[in-house]
Amino acid sequence: MMTKIPESINTIFPNSDVDKEHATRLGQAITPTTAEHPGLSGIHTLADSLDAFAARYLLCGMAEKSLDVQYYIWQDDMSGRLLFSALLSAAERGVKVRLLLDDNNTNGLDDTLRLLNAHPNIEVRLFNPFSFRLFRAIGYLTDFARLNRRMHNKSFTVDGEATIIGGRNVGDAYFGAGEQPLFSDLDVLAVGPVVSEVCQDFERYWHCQSVSTLEKVLEVDEERLHDRVTLPENWKNDPIARRYLDRLTTSQFATHLVSRTLSMYWAKTRLLSDDPRKGQGKARNNTLLPQRLLNVIGQPKQEIDIISAYFVPTRAGVAQILGLVRKGVKVAILTNSLAANDVAPVHAGYARWRKKLLRHGVQLFELKPKYDGRYVPHDRGLTGNSGSSLHAKTFSVDKQQVFIGSFNFDPRSAMLNTEMGFVIESAKLAEDIHSRFTQSQKEAAWALRLDRWGRVNWVENSEGKEIVWKKEPHTRFWQRVLVRLVYRLPVEWLL
């Protein structure tokens, strides 16, 4: 069922004797390089959307022992089905596959999940599952406190040797465009000591009380199952499928990984992940990701660059940011503009603080929409999936440390959803992130500033000329009115 690519995975791997500790060919390929960097993890950035897809697909083909996969969203579209089929093909080879999905975005996938779970080498589990499968809104009415808490984590771990962590979910919205603005999303492939931390964290979630086996959630009727994992007829003629297949054909990811020529940042890397009891509202405050980030990274001394799809600082967050500014720290923030944002209430939670932040010297940049009038992202709801231009969640501190993961700078990530990410101590990676951030400011974002009357202006440079927008660019009157209404309501804790 797995789509064939020109070069077999079996011919990519070198033949070598397998030791007990790293008893896979992938482990044999990675171990010599990690041994050359004791105590450090290798980090390979996956900024390009199609490369991010190819890495996951090709890693499925490399797997020999295990695939532990954890996602907030897995869409039933071309990339979703391709990766489902890759998991199924791995299971057919004897690989043990564990798939952990948040149940908020599995609508329409019940039959597919049944089919996968029926395979003896695949087990599917769901985080905070809905009791009402067809009319899920009823669940929010009867069980809001639990269902409002979601698992936003994303990880893809192969044979306990390599893992992908970052902001992307699985779906064409995250892989398929290939023409997105800079920093639309960011994942990293990691090898080395931090992979064992991800493996241990997956075990915590797999066995936590918020997670249910598929059998406890869905009735399995084998006679009703139909193979929804297979792709539709003539799927290879689909333009989206062609983009995926072309990248799989040309990708040298697997070759470079096993030949030890894949570009890596070697750095001390630490996993930070929420206690899964957060999904029940039972996690202690000192275990939540924001506090642990502060403990690990400490206070910035010179500068901090923040890239967040949803940025809702709240009164307490604004006070912390302005406290840094008063100490001479340069703060720059890149988030979605209203035209690029798919959740208007979340934008309202940011817009209410723009003037105050600008008055105190914080640099604000808003990413332009990527649709150029052809596609308008629609509001998906507070816990829904993102159609925004920007989906990355990362920040760099003093050009020395970088955080890359699932955490948005908003109350939902801080207090409601479970999150995870890497803290990477690499001056080179931090400098590269800063350079790309600076480039995106010039090419893909509006810079915000206050005019003489204290009103927010959006500024861009086009062919050497400065263009100034007095109102939120590329938005309608009713959108701006909605934002103004929402940010006066006491709903910030939900955003």
Over the chain, what is the mean pLDDT? 86
Active-site residue, selected from the candidate residues 154, 278, 370, 399? 154
pLDDT band at 129 (very low <50, low <70, confident <90, very high): very high
Per-residue pLDDT, 180? 42
Per the annotation, the verdict on 159 as an active-site residue is yes
pLDDT band at 286 (very low <50, low <70, confident <90, very high): confident
Nearest to 6 by CA among 257, 246, 256: 246
pLDDT tops 70 at residue 182? no
Residues linked to residue 363 through DSSP beta bridges, in sequence order: 332
The Cα 477–Cα 472 span in angstroms is 9
How does 433-467 read in b/e, with b if 16+ C-beta sit within 10 Å?
Answer: bbebbeebbeebbbbbeeeeeeebbbebeeeeeee
Nearest to 71 by CA among 113, 102, 112: 102
pLDDT tops 50 at residue 309? yes
Per the annotation, the verdict on 391 as an active-site residue is yes
Active-site residue, selected from the candidate residues 76, 77, 143, 398? 398
CA–chain centroid gap for 264, Å, is 20
Q: How confident is the model over 327-340, as a mean pLDDT?
A: 93
The Cα 169–Cα 176 span in angstroms is 12
Residue-wise pLDDT tens digits, 73-87? 999 989 999 999 999
Per the annotation, the verdict on 474 as an active-site residue is no
CA distance to 136, 220, 383, per residue, from 105 (Å): 10, 20, 9
pLDDT above 70 as % of the chain: 87
pLDDT tops 50 at residue 6? no
What domains sit in the chain, N to C, each tagged with a CATH number?
25-258 (3.30.870.10), 298-494 (3.30.870.10)
Active-site residue, selected from the candidate residues 48, 51, 102, 152? 152
The Cα 165–Cα 186 span in angstroms is 9
Per the annotation, the verdict on 185 as an active-site residue is no
pLDDT tops 50 at residue 12? no
pLDDT band at 392 (very low <50, low <70, confident <90, very high): confident
Residues linked to residue 365 through DSSP beta bridges, in sequence order: 334, 447
Residue-wise pLDDT tens digits, 148-181? 999 999 999 999 999 999 999 998 888 864 444 3
pLDDT tops 50 at residue 229? yes
Active-site residue, selected from the candidate residues 347, 391, 399, 474? 391
The Cα 332–Cα 305 span in angstroms is 5
Q: How confident is the model over 315-337, as a mean pLDDT?
A: 94
Per-residue pLDDT, 14? 46
Residue-wise pLDDT tens digits, 57-67? 999 999 999 99
pLDDT band at 478 (very low <50, low <70, confident <90, very high): confident
Per-residue pLDDT, 162? 97
Nearest to 362 by CA among 394, 402, 326, 407: 326
Q: How confident is the model over 121-149, as a mean pLDDT?
A: 89
**Do 420 and 165 meet the contact criterion of CB atoms below 8 Å apart?**
yes
Per the annotation, the verdict on 360 as an active-site residue is no
In residues, how long is the chain? Answer: 495
Active-site residue, selected from the candidate residues 48, 159, 172, 185? 159
Q: For the chain, how big is the Rg over CA atoms in Å?
A: 22
**Do 281 and 308 meet the contact criterion of CB atoms below 8 Å apart?**
no
Candidate from 135-144, 272-281, 306-315 with smallest mean pLDDT: 135-144
pLDDT band at 222 (very low <50, low <70, confident <90, very high): low
Contacts of 90 (CB under 8 A, 6+ apart): 2, 60, 61, 63, 67, 97
Task: For residue 135, count CB atoms less than 10 angstroms from its CB and return exposed for 0-12, middle for 13-18, buried for 19 or more.
Answer: exposed
**Do 166 and 405 meet the contact criterion of CB atoms below 8 Å apart?**
yes
CA distance to 22, 202, 240, 257, 259, per residue, from 17 (Å): 10, 29, 40, 18, 16
Q: How confident is the model over 127-138, as a mean pLDDT?
A: 85
pLDDT tops 50 at residue 183? no
Active-site residue, selected from the candidate residues 44, 368, 393, 474? 393
Among left, alpha and beta (phi > 0; psi -120 to 50; other), residue 398 is: left
Q: How confident is the model over 372-388, as a mean pLDDT?
A: 39
Q: How confident is the model over 287-300, as a mean pLDDT?
A: 89
Crossing angle between the packed helical segments 49-62 and 239-250, to the nearest 10 degrees: 60
Residue-wise pLDDT tens digits, 402-447? 999 999 999 999 999 999 999 999 999 999 988 888 887 777 899 9
pLDDT band at 16 (very low <50, low <70, confident <90, very high): very low
Nearest to 401 by CA among 376, 375, 422, 377: 422
The Cα 65–Cα 94 span in angstroms is 7
